């Protein structure tokens, strides 16, 4: 099977502050939901509606420029009990820029997001690098800014156009209690499909008797599961497409008759 491994759990990786957070060590029926790339006027409100219908909570990794332009959306996210975190100032692959630039970019994004009025009462704890790409330098940059880096354990690949059941199957191939699900509420505007995928995922979470919550809530009172997560853009693209590269439904061809 063609598979790219994002990282590995090293023996010392559970000590506080080391490695990238990819969930919590727990058998409790709980997972964290995360949304990247927002806020977006078309997508974020419908995502918030669906979360409310299911009684679910999530962490929103925001692009700070979009947050500055849409402060009311940040207010809606926060007032509904969701968690706000940083995804970057813009959607830039930090491994493609100089270390100092990566640090300056994360710091500028953090400052910009913190200046959105709603955020005064909510310290920003978590950062997810755009595309999930990371080098030791970019990881250190986030840590120097006082942020914990959060990855994910499962993704429905909601940027692909698939049947909702396929998105669910792809997600639960990789998801177990304590895991983190990666989704998106940023541009482009396609609220109908976002709703369909999110309903399907949350329905499947409920079927299993699990609860969907924020990263902060998932980690509350639990040990973070940390991984060494170093990922370049080319490997990230292959990983995003992995479910399409693996044809699990292939059946052998019948023997050829002469």
Structure tokens at 103: 């640090």
Q: Which is nearer to Zn ion, 26 or 171 (CB)?
A: 171
Q: How far is the CB of 26 from Zn ion (least distance, A)?
A: 26
Q: Which is nearer to Zn ion, 86 or 219 (CB)?
A: 86
Identify the three-state secondary structure at position 107.
helix
Catalytic residue among 167, 184, 185, 217: 184
Catalytic residue among 36, 93, 185, 217: 36
Residue 147: CB atoms within 10 A of its CB come to: 20
Q: Give the closest residue to 186 by CA, choosing from 62, 57, 58.
A: 62
Q: Give the closest residue to 186 by CA, choosing from 22, 46, 78.
A: 46
Question: What single string gives the DSSP state of each residue in 31-94?
Answer: EEEEEES---TTTHHHHHHHHHHHT---EEEEEHHHHHH-HHHHHHHHHTT-EEEEEESSS--G
Q: Which is nearer to Zn ion, 185 or 217 (CB)?
A: 185
Q: How far is the CB of 237 from Zn ion (least distance, A)?
A: 13
Q: Which is nearer to Zn ion, 14 or 108 (CB)?
A: 108
184 as an active site residue: the answer is: yes
Q: How far is the CB of 222 from Zn ion (least distance, A)?
A: 26
Sheet with 7-8: strands ordered across = 7-8, 224-229, 20-24
Q: Which helix (H) or strand (E) holds 178?
A: none
41 burial class (0-12, 13-18, 19+ CB within 10 angstroms)? middle
Q: How far is the CB of 233 from Zn ion (least distance, A)?
A: 12
Residue nearest to Zn ion according to CB distances in the complex: 36
Q: How far is the CB of 185 from Zn ion (least distance, A)?
A: 10
Residues that bind Zn ion (CB under 5 A): 36-37, 130
Q: Which is nearer to Zn ion, 97 or 206 (CB)?
A: 97
- Find the length of the chain: 258
Name the residues annotated as catalytic: 36, 184
């Amino acid at each position: 099977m063609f598979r790219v491994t994002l990282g590995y759990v090293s023996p010392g990786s559970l000590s506080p502050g080391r490695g990238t957070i990819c969930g919590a060590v727990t058998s409790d029926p709980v997972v964290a939901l995360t949304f990247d790339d927002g806020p977006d006027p078309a997508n974020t409100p419908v995502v918030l509606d669906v979360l409310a219908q299911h009684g679910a909570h999530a962490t929103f990794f925001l692009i700070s420029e979009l947050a500055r332009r849409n402060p009311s959306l940040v207010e809606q996210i926060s007032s509904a009990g969701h968690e706000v975190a940083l995804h970057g100032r813009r959607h830039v692959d930090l491994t493609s820029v100089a270390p100092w630039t990566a640090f300056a970019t994360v710091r500028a994004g953090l400052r910009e997001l913190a200046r959105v009025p709603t955020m005064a009462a909510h310290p920003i704890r978590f950062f997810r690098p755009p595309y999930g790409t990371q080098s030791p330098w970019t990881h250190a940059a986030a840590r120097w800014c006082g942020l914990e880096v959060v990855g994910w354990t499962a993704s429905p690949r909601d940027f692909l156009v698939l049947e909702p059941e396929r998105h669910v199957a792809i997600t639960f191939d990789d998801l177990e209690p304590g895991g983190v699900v990666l989704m998106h509420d940023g541009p482009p505007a396609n609220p109908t499909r976002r709703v369909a995928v999110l309903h399907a995922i949350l329905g499947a979470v409920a079927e299993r008797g699990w609860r969907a919550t924020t990263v902060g809530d998932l980690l509350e009172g639990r040990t973070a599961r940390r991984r060494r997560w170093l990922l370049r853009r080319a490997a990230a693209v292959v990983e995003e497409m992995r479910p399409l590269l693996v044809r699990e439904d292939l059946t052998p061809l019948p023997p050829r008759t002469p």
